[in-house]
Every structure is written in structure tokens, then in C-alpha cells.
Chains A and B, each alone.
Chain A
Amino acid sequence: MGSKAGDSVDIPPERHAHVRKLLERPGPFTHPEFEPSKEAFDGFSSIVRVLIVGAGGLGCELLKNLSLLGVKQLHVIDMDTIDISNLNRQFLFRMTDVGSSKSETASKFINGRVQGAQVVAHHCKIQDKDSEFYRSFHVIVCGLDSIVARRWLNSMVCSLVEYNEDGSVKEETLIPIIDGGTEGFKGNARVIMPTMSPCIECTLDLYPPQVNFPLCTIANTPRLPEHCIEYVRILQWPKDNPFETETAIDGDDPNHINWIYEKSLERASQFGITGVTYRLTQGVVKRIIPAVASTNAVIAAACATEVFKLATSCSIPMDNYMVFSDVEGIYTYTYKAEKKENCIACSRSVTTLEFPLEVTLQRVIDYLKEDPDYQMKSPGVTAIVNGRNKTLFTHVIEQTKANLSKKMTELGIINNEVITVADETTPVARDFKITYKDAGMES
């Protein structure tokens, strides 16, 4: 029997001869700090701790690549369970694993296959872990499909950065994030050095908010099959309550999708619209993004290579963004994305927001949700008013809703006052300084 995970077996050094060659020899393109040696591989292999966020398409590939490169201390975090539609690319899972924990199944597989691998699974939300957990890693690799989760993680890692008294960054508190994303035949890989290269929030405009069909089109003037499906999903479902009252749509329940499909067909034929299919219905309801094994393999590989470079200095890490597409030939473009001077996540400056004097709290909240730079989801606002911490709005406290229609000035927020905003996109609350147009003239 082959040895399994955690066994303190001696792995013959020639096992990793391929990777060792790169670490034992000098080269013209290495990082200036690179010191080739016979011991370099063992040091890298046993010391480096890497966290993989997401055990899906990218996560499975990352686990394979990093464990083959020799990283022993791998952790993987994912709250999801395995679905049948994962099997065309998440290659550590089998039909019999459907329904099991992704992180646990994936770790078990790697530990069984790669001798010496000690992958630790965390079957939970990323928000369930605290800063101490994230601080314990040298590199964090992110293979998420959710933008909110990605933003939360990015803000968490940025918040771990500590500063010296002179304002310079304590380098040992910087944890690089390698982030990968895919969609069909396209993908991107990037290296984020918090405070030094652009973070997720710096380049938030790369993730444009999802565009929905206007409600009046769906309700009154459908033209596309998608309009009919959205009508059934948004308007007809809650009205007809086809299953039990108040049952939310479960995109994985074939009965639900069937019902929506059939009703959408009916609506489409009323309007002479063609093209409603079961597959389209499912795609619209679940907002399915196409995915294929190869793109995941490519992007995860690019990310793993960057981890390897960062951890060993055997080459200079990418600075800082690569896009990939193989729709036509094989295309990549590597460039230096720009850092945002007053980024809310990775800079220390407090952002100033300017509004007209009569601005309401509602308008401020809408701004934080709609502005492409912030794209918050459900911001809650607090402020120190007259020396006391006061909650101006949070969706969990009914009474605060009355504040929404009030002017900021009525709520005690005078010119240059700071409000603190909490949101699911970040583990740490954000401060914003509020100023009013023409306020200077009045005071």
C-alpha cells in the first residue's frame, strides 16, 4: 500500500527532481533575493503555508498543482457541496461524491494521491474565519465565483496590513493574494500585493454590476424568451405559489424549473416568441455561467505558478494582471493594472463624499450601492453624533427605516463629519467623510 497523508515517510529526493532543478540552479531571470541551494526545495516545501479559497473548478486544480509543486501545508476553505454539474471540470469529484463537502472530498483525494500532502479542509463560509486564521498563511489563492466573497476576502487581507510609526508598511504583515476567475473560454489571473499593487476594490470597475431586464419590459412588452422566463420567475411565481405558499424558487429542484419552463412557454406563445427551452430556463433562473475544464486548468495553473514564484523567488512574480481567452486562437494580455489612490480597502485615506446640503440618508445609501467604485449590497450606517455612537440605518432594525427619508443634516451629520458604513462586501467597516456642496460659504 502507498503511504497516505501525514505519514512521516521519507520521500526520495529524486521524486521532486523536476522542481528541484529550478531551485538548485542560478538563472538570469530570478528574483534578486533568490539563493539556489540543495536545501531550497525542502525549505519551500515544508515551511510555506498556502490557503486556497474555494474548492471548485479552480480550487481542485490549485490543490493538484500546489501539492505537486511540493507545498505540503495547504488549507482549503469552501462551504459548498458537490453538484452533478461540477463533474465536467472539478476533477477530484466523482458521481458518488455528489452531495458531499467539496473541501473535504478534495483534500481527502489529494492526501491519498500525493505522498506527503497534508491538506486541511475547512467546510465553512470564509466569513466564519477570523483575522487570526487568515494571518497564519504566507500566500492566499482565491478561486471564487462570487464577487462579494472575493471583495470580503480582499478587504480582510488588506486589513491585516500593519504600519510603522513613520507610516511605512510592515512588510511581514503583507499577505499576497493570487486571484483567478473564469467564464467560459475566458479568464484572468492576478497578483495582489496589498498596498503595493491594485487590490480587488482598486479595480472594481472590472466587475460591472449585473444588468437586469427592465421590469416594464418583462411585465408588458416581452420580446425575447428570456423576458418570458423572467416574468414567470419574478412575477408569476409569487402570485401563483405553485408549490407551497412562500416557497422560494430552488434552481436545483427539477419540479420548480419544470413549472417555470412550462409557464414561460405559455407566455412566449401568447406573444409569438420562440426559443424558450428547458436549458435556457435553467440558465436564466440559476444565472448559470458556462464553464469548461480547460479554462479552469489554465487559470489555476497561472495562479499556481505565481504562488511558486512568490514563495521561492525562482522567477519574478507577474506585475500584475493577465487576461486569457481561447475563443479565437490562444490569446493572453499581461499588463500592469493601476492602483487607486484613495482605495477604500488598501489605502489609509478616509474617502470624502460630497453631496448637496439637502441630501437624505436614503440618497447616500443609494449612492454607495450604485456607484461603480463602491457597489455595496446592503450598507448599514453609524456615526458619532454628539459624542454618542448612533445607528442611523441598518436593515435589521425596523425603527431605523424612518431615518431614510431624513436629511443627513437633520440626523446630526454636519459638514466634514465621518460616517461608518458596514456591508457584506467587507469584514471591516468603512469610514467616509461627508461634505456638503457650498457648505463652506454658509459656515
Chain B
Amino acid sequence: MTSASPSPKSPEVSEKSKKYDRQLRLWGDHGQNKLERSQVCLINANATGTEILKSLVLPGCGSFVIVDGHRVTQEDIGNNFFLDVDSLNKSRAECAVRLLLELNADVAGEAIADHPDSLLNTDPKFFNRFTVVIGCHLGERVLATLSKVLWESGIPFLHVQTTGMIGWIRIQQNEHTIIESHPDNPKSDLRLDVPFPELVSHMDSIQLENREDTVKTPWLVLLYKALKSYISQGRQNENVSDCSPPERYPFSGKQKTEFKNYLREFLRSVGLEDMDDSFEEALKAVNTAILRTTVPDEVKAILEDAKTSKPENKFWILCAALKEFINDRDGQLPLRGVLPDMTADSEKYIKLQNVYRDKATKDANEIFDKACQIMKQSGKQGLSITVEEVRLFCKESHNLRLIRGYPIHEELASSPNSVLVDLAQNMEECDQELMFYIILRAHLRFHNEYSTYPGSDDSETDISRFKTTMMKMLNEWNTSVVAREDCIHEICRYGGAEIPSVAAFVGGTAAQEVIKIVTNQYVPLDNTFIYNAITSTTRSLKLAADL
């Protein structure tokens, strides 16, 4: 440091941030704040249910409520870690709340020893106070009613069930928007094909005179200069057919190979040797750095959504501002302002990095102004948007995601045509998970008809009863799909049993989906997940209304 001021004081690290350190590295303090403000409701504290809550209480959800009218049985004690021998015959909600609260002193919990249907009867708005509602092993009727209530009030709802070796997660959300989707391999945004004026003038100010200097130059500069000279020489037009418009930049694999040859010669001409780090890095970067600057389809679809013309919340106001920005800029998103690391002299790298960062800040400020304007126009002054929020939004604008849901009650009232088509086409080598999805639907129906799970008592008699239910259902669906005998036998073998480790698998995955929903980070399941512990495989499905 140049100044004589004392070194900055290290921050006090709170007990809480020490405890949550390993997860804060995934969703940050802002994600944690959202999690800590969440109120989760679990209906039925069976093995799967308490497993879900365990992975929500540990990372510190704000509070939870268990709604469960059952009393604890010996079977419950045997497969549920959050019930103990002292819990026998007591309220399952109360016992589970007590043992779950031991996990984290920062979390509040409450038990309501009642069934969800009677709660809905006395207070139809009971569930509206939660951030998210999770139902485990609900009957078909309650499931449909709850689905309707929660869909109308816009509260995310998960239905989770495990039966023997099979698990089922279904998420219902009207609309879920994500700014921080955290893609595994984010695309770079370097604008080599459409360099902004500040970048052009920075690049033009750099001279590649001697080797001593060039070896310390970031590959991005080398690549820029090589591209410029490649384009000016018209080399790119050599192999372009007449029917397609000539591509100025080497975007395709073939063009890139050609350009790499040119680049090699160029690098040697400015004094680099084949073994130099920048030489190798520049060649490697051709594939990832030279990209056509466009708006990803997923983002385009979001910006074309009707909600951008009538924005009702922060996300949609920002999208409306983004849309205006893109129109002004001939189809360009705001610059991300992120530079990958590259072998270079510190000063040269930092200067280049600042060119990108300054431009990103400028873009974000522009969007901030637009957003404020839109807020005023749409009468949403009550919302407050900070510059930091807008910067994050701009940085992530390439990765925005939108999920529009499909209500469970509609799913239950119609036939799952996409699944049936898929099954009908591959009857011989059918996907077990798809088959189990339709069997689970029949399973729900069976429970509705007989108030018991197939195979609860004598699995032999239940097999024929279950087959009847299944056949009736398939008839109603008017499908040629035939239920597989082996899968039917297997489901009846389970008799509705919840295997602790299967419950733990499904519980863990469902809990993470809840965390994604309440933190608005990472991309939740859309909308159905089947876990098959027989083969240790899984399948995700997107069920939707037929068009």
C-alpha cells in the first residue's frame, strides 16, 4: 500500500458465519438471508418428511411448522430418526418438532397436531402464510385441494413420496424467476466480434513491438490483434458459399481451425515462440473466446414475455429495462465485465480488466436509470432497487431463467400424454422410471379407493385389486400402454413401506429444491422427479397441459 494508514482491520467473524461457512460459499450471505426469512410447512412427518426438514433446519431455514394428525407407531420409530422410543403413541408432529429443533438453535419450529383437510375446512387460508409447503404421502383428494389453494395463492408446493425403492418428487410453482442460476460452464462475454469503443481504443493503444513485451501481454490482446488483421485481409471469405451471408468472424469449427493456422503465424510474427504460455493460451482460447455475441434463446423468451410490458415485481421491472437496453444496443446484452485469468504482466492484465469492468458498470448504470423510470411509469415506486442489485442482474443477464409451472390438480385430472406416448413407443425396452410414474398415479388412486396401500397386508390379493385400479385408469386415459407385470408386483411387494435410505435420498434432493426456491439461486427441478433405487437411476420429467 502506498499510504501510511494502518492495515485494514479484519472483520469480526460471527459464530453464525463460522457455522454456515461451507454453504455460504455456495449461495452467499444474500442467499442465506433469504433462507433465514423462509417459513416452511411440512404436512406429515413421516421418514421422508423429517429427512426433508433435517436438510432445511441444518442450513438454517427461518422456521418450520409440522402439520400431522397422526400418533407415533412402532413402525414410525423404526424408520424415522426424528422419533424415539419415548415418542410412542404421542403426537407425531410434536415429537418430530422437538427432535428436529435439536439440530439448530437458530431455527424455530411449531407442531400442529391436526390433519391438513380439517385445517383447510376450518381455515382455508391457513397455508397462505408460508414461503413453501411440502406435503408427504398425501391422499389424492387432499393433494388436489391443496394444490388448488396453493396455486391460487402463488405459494410453491412440493409433493414428495417414497414407496419401497421408488421415490417421487413433484414441484408446483406458478412462476419462478432466477437471476443467479450458477451455470457450470458460463460462456465468456468478451465482445471480440463487436468490440465496444473503449475496448477498441485500449487495444489500439497497445503496440506489440518486441518479444520482451509481447510475452507479458494477455492473450486477449493478441487474439484481438490477430483477428483484426485476419478480417482486414479478407481471409475469412475464402470458403464461404454464396447462399449464406459471409461470416466475418471465425465462429464455426472449420473456420476456427483455419484461423488457428493464421494465429500461429501471427504470434510468431510478433516475436512469440511456440512454447510461450501466451502462445499456447491464445490458441486454446480460440474455441471459447471467439463467440458470436447474442442474446441466448432462454433470455430472449423471457424478454418477450407479456410481463415485461406490465411488470409487477423487481425481476420483471429489470427485464423491462433490459429489453429497452437491448433495443437501444442492436441486440446486445449489458457486458458481463468478467475476464478470465491469463498469463500476463499484472499491470497489462489489470488495465484490460478495468476496460471491461468500467464498461460493465456503465451498462449497469444505464439499466438502473431505465429501471427507475419504468418503476415510476408502472406505479411501482414502492419497490426499491439498488445499484448493486442491478449490477448483479446485468452480470447474470446471460443466465436468467424462468420456470412456469403446471398445477398438480390439473395433472391428476388428466392423462399424462407425453409420458404415455414415450412409453407406447418403447414398450419393449421401456424406461422403468416412466412406468413407475404411471404406477404411482394408480397407487394414489388405489389409496383413495381402499384407504390403504397396495400390499399393506397380503400382497397377493392386493396385486389383483391394484391391477383393476390400474386398468381402469389406463382405460380412462384411452391409451394402448400396458402396465408392466413386474413393476406392478414390485410396487405391491412394498406395501407402502418407506425404506429409511430411500427416504433419505429423496428427502435430501427435495430439501435442496426448497432451498433453490427460497434463495432464488440455482435451477429447481421442473417439475417431476422419479428415483429408482432398484437400479440406482433417476428420471426427470416436465409434465404439462396438452397444447
Q: Is the CB of A115 within 8 A of B25?
A: no
- Chain B residues positioned under 8 Å from A14 (CB to CB): 73-75, 78
How many residues on chain A are close to B (CB under 8 Å)? Answer: 89
Interface window among B51-59, B119-127, B140-148, B314-322? B51-59
Q: A280: nearest residue on chain B (CB-CB)?
A: B25
Residue of chain B at shortest CB distance from A292: B23
The answer to whether residues A254 and B13 also contact, given A85-B21, A265-B8, A306-B536 and a CB cut-off of 8 A, is: yes
A276's closest neighbor in chain B, by CB?
Answer: B8
Interface positions, chain B 61-96, Cβ under 8 Å from A, are 73-75, 77-81, 84-86
Instruction: Point out the residues of chain A lying under 8 angstroms from B84, CB to CB.
Output: 2, 113
* A292–B32 CA distance with the chains assembled, in angstroms: 12
Contact B10 A29 (CB under 8 A): no
Q: Could you say which residues of chain A place their CB within 8 Å of the CB of B540?
A: 329-331
Most buried by A among B164, B342, B485: B164
Query: Restricting to A36-93, which residues have a CB under 8 Å from any CB of B?
Result: 61, 64-65, 68-69, 84-85, 87-89, 91
Supposing A65-B500, A291-B23 touch, asked if A89 and B58 sit within 8 A by C-beta, the answer is: yes
Whether B524 and A329, one on each chain, are in contact in the complex, defined by CB atoms closer than 8 angstroms, is: yes
In the bound complex, residues from chain B placing their C-beta under 8 Å from that of A61 are 504
Residues 342 to 400 of chain B near chain A (Cβ within 8 Å) = 342-347, 349-350, 353-354
Cα distance A65–B505 in the bound complex, in angstroms: 10
Contact yes or no, B102 A94, CB < 8 A: yes
Chain A residue at minimum C-beta to C-beta distance from B167: A301
Q: Cβ of B7: which chain A residues have Cβ within 8 Å of it? A: 262-263, 265-266
B22 touches A292 (CB 8 A): yes
Nearest-neighbour CB distance to chain B for A83, whole angstroms, equals 9
**Residue B523 at the chain A interface, CB threshold 8 Å:** yes
User: Does the CB pair A304–B459 fall under 8 Å?
Assistant: no
Binds A, one of B181-189, B252-260, B326-334: B181-189
Partner of A328, one of B51, B522, B538: B522
Q: Say if the beta carbon of B26 comes within 8 Å of chain A.
A: yes
Against A, the Cβ 8 Å flags (1 = close, 0 = not) of B257-293 are: 0000000000000000000000000000000000000
- Interface stretch, picked from A17-25, A163-171, A337-345, A433-441, is A17-25
**A332: which B residues are within 8 A, CB to CB?**
537-538
Contact A12 B501 (CB under 8 A): no
Interface residues of A in 341-374 (CB under 8 A from B): none
- Also in contact, A223 and B536, with CB within 8 A (given A18-B498, A21-B494, A293-B58): no
Contact sample, A vs B, 11 pairs, CB 8 Å cutoff: A18-B75, A29-B486, A87-B19, A221-B345, A223-B353, A265-B8, A294-B511, A298-B508, A304-B504, A305-B501, A328-B184
Binding site for B on A (CB under 8 A): 1-3, 12, 14-19, 21-22, 25-29, 61, 64-65, 68-69, 84-85, 87-89, 91, 94-95, 113-115, 184-185, 189, 217, 221-224, 254, 257-258, 261-263, 265-266, 269-273, 278-279, 282-283, 288-298, 300-302, 304-306, 308, 315-316, 318, 322, 325-332, 334
User: Beyond A28-B490, A68-B80: 10 further Cβ-contacts under 8 Å?
Assistant: A22-B493, A68-B78, A89-B22, A91-B54, A185-B512, A221-B216, A271-B346, A271-B347, A278-B10, A315-B533
